[in-house]
Amino acid sequence: MTQEHTALTVALEQLKIAAEKLQLDPGIHAICNIGVFNGYRVQHWDVMGPFKGGLRYHPNVTLDEITALAMWMTWKCAVIGLPYGGAKGGIACNPKTMSKGELERLTRRYVSLIFEYLGPHRDVPAPDVYTDAQTMAWIMDTYSQLKGYSVPESVTGKPIEIGGSEGRVCATSLGVAFCAREAAKILNLKLKNATVAVQGYGNVGYNAASIMHNMGCKIIAVSDSTGGIYCSNGINPHDVRVHKTKTGSVINHKDCANITNEELLQTECDILIPAALENQIRKDNADKIKAKIVAEGANGPTTPEADKALYEKDVCLIPDILANSGGVTVSYFEWVQNLTREHWTLEEVNRKLETKIIKAFNDVQKLSKKEESDMRTAALMLGVGRVAHALKTLGLWP
């Protein structure tokens, strides 16, 4: 059946005809013309504690993708030592074409449909791709309205005014920077003027670039979904963000050469931070990666074949389940603060985050050295091993 004659398009056309004949108020017509979206929430394992994971809005969301992300979240929480199991959610939609009101209604409907599977001791959502603090506020309010009282600990990544944590916006990026810094120490690489390329200029990419810039690094290339820019003399991350806000893209920034995302990955640099989407470093381009350190800000940016190729090239790859665990770590801090009705200072949050990240990095590095393996294999051994031990200890019942 052609797209022009699917059951849904026929039904919508019939509704339009009837609305015109009845001279329906446009608002009433809009209510009748309800869009249908596929939404998912995958809960992987809760043997370590309540399920924890982000909610993403993206046109290409699939059940397979959400399942993989939920599994990675289980290992990530175990590696960093958080009392959580892994979960992930997603709605297949294009938020760029939707109004704020439509996004709010979509979010509240989603929560109402899976309400029984959520809760501060069962499953705690958080922001992800194209969701933010406002989305989390809607989730908290919907859940609280259904419970009949305020439950700020039901979701993390909220605005500070309603129980959010200091430092949450930059947490993932700060964790990436801490990991890159520790890897640089091992390689005897000085961060002062170390060159950095960042793929992806959303929250994680921009803040990672800014933090590395403040550490003394030279940001020489950044990109977003439309393309990238390169400048050997260095780029000011804040100026690029202002430019992107005005133009909608990082390209055509002054004194910079436009490059493709593929060219950014192949940039000769000390540190590469892939902070976009999955499968960016693959078997066909791994041999062209020139960075000494790859710190994964995104989830799953490197394929298994590329992992092997980079390891054989002596590239220090810090895997996603370690490198980008700062976000879920501060989400855990927010959850704890909400449960105890406390509010920690930014300094306290960042100090606790640094302590956890450094310990996890050292745990993975130590195991990697012992097993003579790449860091991803070591991180997976650590995370899967801890979950498996918990499963064996608790047993299965009934």
Q: Which residues make Cβ contacts (< 8 Å) with residue 147, sequence separation at least 6?
A: none
The widest CA-to-CA distance across the chain, in whole angstroms, is: 76
Which has the closest alpha carbon to 324: 275, 359, 392?
A: 275
- Asked whether 44 and 79 are in contact (CB, 8 A), the reply is no
Amino acid of residue 329 = T
Indicate if 313 belongs to the active site: no
- Asked whether 311 and 374 are in contact (CB, 8 A), the reply is yes
Which has the closest alpha carbon to 185: 362, 369, 371, 330?
A: 362
Question: Rounded distance, CA 318 to CA 307, Å?
Answer: 10
Of 52, 76, 88, 292, the active-site residue reads: 88
Q: Which residues make Cβ contacts (< 8 Å) with residue 383, sequence separation at least 6?
A: 74, 75, 76, 77, 78, 79, 321
- Asked whether 294 and 376 are in contact (CB, 8 A), the reply is no
Helix (H/G/I), strand (E/B), else coil: 317: strand
Tell me which DSSP letter residue 52 carries: E
Helix (H/G/I), strand (E/B), else coil: 290: coil
Catalytic residue list = 88
